Structure 1
Amino acid sequence: MKNDLSEVLNQLKEASHGLLWISESEEPFEVFVWENEAQEDLNDRTLLSHLDRANTSVETQDFDLFFATATQIQDWQNEEERAIVHQYQQLAVALKQHLRDLKVYRIGEVNISVYILGKTEAGHIAGLVTQAVET
């Protein structure tokens, strides 16, 4: 199972390589995993507890809704922007291929930690984390 987890993490690293989440800042994605949490349910309380941020505001967002803007080709986009959209589309596919029960957790209010998490086939909590600044 360790090899399966390593493969999932490698696939997510590859799919997110070079992508930046755009907000008032541009931040990279990092792969995130809790290897020993296979039997634990993923919810707001669980996440905040593991991050030692128990009294922090958290918003749960639908995975597809979170990626909707980033994965849509627009008429006004140039070739470079369309290539980035294509990479976001590939990232969304990779996340859906390797993780189930995907959710996005936005923790904080101005400097927001964004966790895109789900469970691996073996039940480990894994995904991506990035930062967003929204004033």
Structure 2
Amino acid sequence: MLKEKKKKRGNRKNSGTTKEPSERAAAGLQKNSLAKQIEEITADLYYISETDALISPFVGHQAQTVSRETILEQTESAFDSPVEERNFTEFFARLIEIQDWFGDEERKTAEKYLLLKKLLEKNLRDLKVYKIGKVQIDIYIVGLDAENRLMGIKTKAVET
């Protein structure tokens, strides 16, 4: 009897009715044209800190507000995690500013960041930047879409 219950649970999980968070996000990504646009812009786009980390779409769930509690819950982070909120415009300022010494590669990267910033501003409201953790930091730049779904981008940074 016990084996049968375990087997049923296992079958239910394997049947696709119970999805892991990453599977749910992937399913949401496939259905969402904004996420596809973000994915196109962020292809081969890295966030530079003490490490280089890819930037990728973040597709969350319905939310009433963009808040510390919302981001911790939807990223499945511990509620006692250190969280720093940053201003969206200030976060992008250094990424989109073109310097005199930039070569073609750096200019293209800054232009991609500008496109990304404009895309997020056009399609999401209440945009905020959250840095979760210390030293090895998860960064989420998120807002609410037309259906009140938490969306945006995610990346990582190392700050010592």
TM-score (normalised: structure 1): 0.90
Q: Counterpart of 2:158?
A: 133
Runs in 1 of length 4+ with deviation above 6 angstroms?
none
Q: Alpha-carbon deviation of 1:76?
A: 1.2
5+ long unaligned stretches in structure 1: none
Partners in 2 of 1:75 and 1:133 — Cα distance?
Answer: 27
Q: Name the % identity.
A: 35
Q: Highest relative contact order (Cα 8 Å, sep 6+), 1 or 2?
A: 1
Partners in 2 of 1:48 and 1:86 — Cα distance?
Answer: 30
Secondary structure, aligned partner of 1:31: strand
Q: Would the aligned equivalents of 2:46 and 2:52 in 1 still touch at CA under 8 Å?
A: yes
Q: Counterpart of 2:88?
A: 63
Secondary structure, aligned partner of 2:140: strand
Tell me the alpha carbon deviations over residues 80-109 of structure 1, each in whole angstroms, 9 at most, x when there is no partner.
111111111111111111111110000011
Greater mean alpha carbon deviation, residues 57-66 or residues 9-18: 9-18
Q: Counterpart of 1:99?
A: 124
Q: Equivalent of 2:57, from 28, 31, 37?
A: 31
Partners in 2 of 1:81 and 1:17 — Cα distance?
Answer: 15
Q: Alpha-carbon deviation of 1:49?
A: 2.8
Q: Alpha-carbon deviation of 1:52?
A: 3.5
Secondary structure, aligned partner of 2:96: coil
Q: Counterpart of 2:69?
A: 45
**What RMSD in Å do the two structures reach over aligned CA positions?**
1.6
Aligned length: 131
Q: Counterpart of 1:6?
A: 32
5+ long unaligned stretches in structure 2: 1-27
